[in-house]
Structure 1
Amino acid sequence: MPESRTATAPATTLTPTPVVSVKPVVLSAPGRGEDLRVRVSAPTTGHDLPVIVFSHGYSWSMDGYAPLADFWAARGFVVLQPTHLDSRTLDLPADDPRTPLIWRFRVEDMKRVIDQLDLLEASVPGLAGRLDRSRVAVAGHSWGAQTASMLLGARVLDSEGVPGEDLSDPRVSAGVLLALPGRGGDDLSPFAAEHFPFMNPSFDDMTAPVLVVAGDQDQSALSVRGPDWFTDPYFLSPADKSLLTLFGAEHSLGGIPGYGVAETTDESPERVALIQQFTWAFLRSALDPEDTGWPAACSALEEDPKPLGQVQSK
């Protein structure tokens, strides 16, 4: 049986450092129609820094998700945030010929960021020589989580249920998937089935260590199921996986896209703090077997009269 604990925010054991961010760093992207713009955030101190490539949700950009990017960067990660073609900052017309394939462009954006680590490193004064290219993780929220999952081994099933192309990236060692949609097929709403045929995933080959984060009040118009739809990536994938289920959380998970944004219908600084610390601890340990951050966080979870959530692992 999977291990299950009540979630309370663990203590942050690494003192945060000042962060420097540079944007936009422009990467040439032939065939994309737009150069790829990236935000780079890094701590001002430290060496052998691991990397997180973060994929934003629908219509967001490199400027979103500061509650996560700033927290991770202040505690030892270099965070790279590409702006995908669906960003409202690009205002791509709905009838643009690239629109049906934006999900593929998104995956290519993430891979291009990893391809161009040298350029991105050189864009930040004082960052040269401080990255650890052997420790790369991906993360994302909503559509961004779907994008990140593809680099971790998730695949899109065709109409016959046959897995499509393997778009995983061997340079990626772990991931955090926040509000990642679940199974397709009959679990999709008619609207989603018609407009988003790529929302038909298989998680069978998603073998890398992953933390799935889901809200137990995240009722999506894209599925005929309830909030448990967002737990599918955990239950339908092989180990090594963990699932953080947040009590009372809707799709913004308390406000991770940004401080005070209109889309956040379930604002909760406490919930965001828990996500910050649990994702940080998970990635530290997933990228360094000698790091005890995740085991320490899990061992610190104890019964609480007002729990924020629950963690399961397999």
Structure 2
Amino acid sequence: MPARNELINTAELADILGHPTLRLFDCTTYLEYQPEGSGIPYIAVPGKHTFEAGHISGADFLDLQGEFSDQTTELRFMMPPVAQLEAAFGRHGIGADSQVVLYSIGSAMWATRFWWMLKSLGFDHVSVLDGGLDKWQAEGRAIETGSAKGYPPAKFTAKPKPGYFVGKQDVLAAGARRDTVVVNALVPQFFKGLEPGRYGRPGRIPGSVNVSAATLFDPQTKAFVPLADAEAKFAAQGIIKDKRVVAYCGGGISATIDLFLLHQLGYDNLTLYDASMSEWAKDASLPIETG
């Protein structure tokens, strides 16, 4: 299957700014990591302050934890009920005819998380801005300041697709399947359990391989690595197109960078362990591996 193109570059976005069907969103969240032993790995802070300090003209802001996550669980960023998402996306003006472009600051993972959510709801007119606001500003492109003006409300009708999210029992079973590869998107020291775990027990899901999301974009420009480079990184870990891929990380965010690039490469059988290590590391009944 040929590669998909759901990545938009800064020049392409500049050409369509102001188009009536464009719905452009800053998706940034900041994680304030807490001291070891505090009982919580981080506090999620919506990026409204940096949005108001500077954003691409016409953009609106999406608060992932505050408006687009399940509020009934102590786990952060979990996928909420479909009705909640329909109402929230509709409030932000996303309808059947919208062309959505997502971006974030520092890392594309906040944008790719929303991309994955929208795809799971059957909404396909969605792209991620390569390099996000970092690249946009580095090129000297104009920004505006102040609060979001927003878009007129619309009716967002979800058509949920199966298979986008899996739970811990599915992941446990996947480890024994030769047609499935489980990939961890965290940096190597957390994958190997060389540092105290932010989420509980240090280590990884047994049998999983490591393709760190941080290696899939340029640390300077924040743009994604070329697809050929990404494909080589995945192939080196045994991730090939005839296998099902289960991706995970700490809280279901950075793993969507891996999933985004795999999708761009034409992979079809992709899924996300939404609770990731935030759940797995705390559940003593589940096995864990280090080294």
Q: Which one has a larger percent strand, Structure 1 or Structure 2?
A: 1
Task: Give the TM-score normalised by the residue count of structure 1.
Answer: 0.27
Task: Give the TM-score normalised by the residue count of structure 2.
Answer: 0.29
